[in-house]
Amino acid sequence: MTLDLAALPSPREVSGVTADNFAAEITDIYQPAVLRGFASHWPLVQAGQQSDADAGRYLQQHSLDKPQVLLQLPAGLNGRLFYNDSLTGMNFSGSQTRMTAAIERMLQATPGGDRYCLQCVPVQDNFAGLMLDNPLLSADTKSFIWLGNGITVPAHFDEASNIAVVVAGKRRFTLFPPQQLANLYIGPLDLTPAGQPVSMVNMLAPDLTAHPNYPKAYAAALSVELHPGDAIYIPTPWWHHVQSLSAFNVLINYWWSNVYVASALPFPMLLHAIQAFKHLPDGQRQAWQYMLQHYLFAENGDPAAHLPAQAKGILGEMTPQLAQGLQRWLAAQLK
């Protein structure tokens, strides 16, 4: 069976998006969206449109040259960041390398040889003078840069909403709705290549004997190739597979969330819930399942409808003060 990612339908493309209509046009719809030419005016993008070397030199000129963890993938892996054969570690190694030298290593990489990448490097802490204006998000939203050769990141999710901007090279994003979780064959939750669990399916060469239900996920997927200056909005927790298609690739991304405190991010809570509930006797686990359905998913309606507003607490409107108080309470409970 041919499951070519390039044959999938594309996400919707949206133009004319401003800060005023961002929610109505993008985030309220809860679907990925492509913003063509979003950053075509960035000097870094314009450098990338000239050549890989121009983009690399531009970054080197603006780099603060701090040490980074440069990942190295041996030749023969086709650039796929993944596990080793026994799933006890990763198929790549990392070494401390200063930014300018790391970029040079990527630019000098030879076809068929080892491949290199830097992941999730905070822009503000590592570069000076990069003009990366994003009119859709608040000015204090942090940006991160991803640099590398032809690297493929398996399907994973982010815990925050994401706008990713292709700066140099080309990338293919393939996106799966959260409801396809069971058909993506997710790997270990507590040993991951980069913090989030990933699909075990090699989507460039799927093994349907090992992953027979993957075609169901493929049938629900969207895929798009982005060029320098293009951006994509990825809602959380949509799964996305990212393939860098050029010899040298640069991406800038922005994450943001309405969660007031970092400790309230959902994935750590999922792991704690597994720890708390998974090994309970069946009767107790079913009882807690009912409680979660009642309080968390409101399957019986508003669970606090019978309480006055001032007494609803965490079941009412979440405020920064309430979130911070709950964080302190949870920290005390989990000691």
DSSP state of 116: E
Kindly list the structural domains of the chain, giving each domain's residue range(s) and its CATH number in brackets, ordered by start: 5-256 (2.60.120.650), 262-333 (no CATH)
- 157 Cβ neighbours under 8 A, 6+ residues apart: 178, 196, 236, 237, 238, 239, 240
Mean pLDDT of the chain: 92
What pLDDT shows up at residue 296?
86
Reduce the DSSP state of residue 232 to 3 states and report it.
strand
| pLDDT, mean of residues 128-146 | 93
pLDDT by residue (tens digit) across 166-206?
999 999 999 999 999 999 999 999 899 888 899 999 999 99
Residue 59, token pair as written in the block = 């970054």
- Provide the pLDDT for residue 1: 61
At 152, is the pLDDT very low, low, confident or very high (cuts 50, 70, 90)? Answer: very high
DSSP for 83-104, please give it.
Answer: B-TTSSSBS-EEEEEEHHHHHH
Indicate the pTM of the whole model: 0.90
Q: What integer is the mean pLDDT of 97-109?
A: 97
Evaluate whether 43 touches 129 at the Cβ level (below 8 Å). Answer: no
Interatomic CA distance for residues 232 and 215, integer angstroms = 24
**Residues in contact with 335: Cβ distance below 8 Å, sequence separation at least 6, in sequence order:** none
Question: Closest by alpha carbon to 117, among 163, 169, 160?
Answer: 169
Pair type for strands 143-148 and 171-176? unpaired
Taking the C-alpha atoms of residue 232 and residue 166, their distance in angstroms, rounded to an integer, is 9
Under DSSP, the state recorded for 248 is S
What integer pLDDT is reported at residue 316 of this predicted model? Answer: 84
pLDDT at 262: 53
Q: Give the integer Cα–Cα distance in Å for 72 and 289.
A: 44
What is the identity of the amino acid at 275?
Q
Strand (E) positions, the chain?
A: 12-13, 33-35, 67-73, 93-98, 115-122, 143-148, 152-156, 161-168, 171-176, 222-226, 231-234, 239-244, 249-256
* pLDDT, tens digit (0-9, with 9 covering 90-100), for 237-284: 999 999 999 999 999 999 998 665 555 678 888 888 898 898 988 999
pLDDT score of 264: 63
Tell me the average pLDDT across 38-43.
96
Report the pLDDT value the prediction gives residue 215, as an integer from 0 to 100: 98
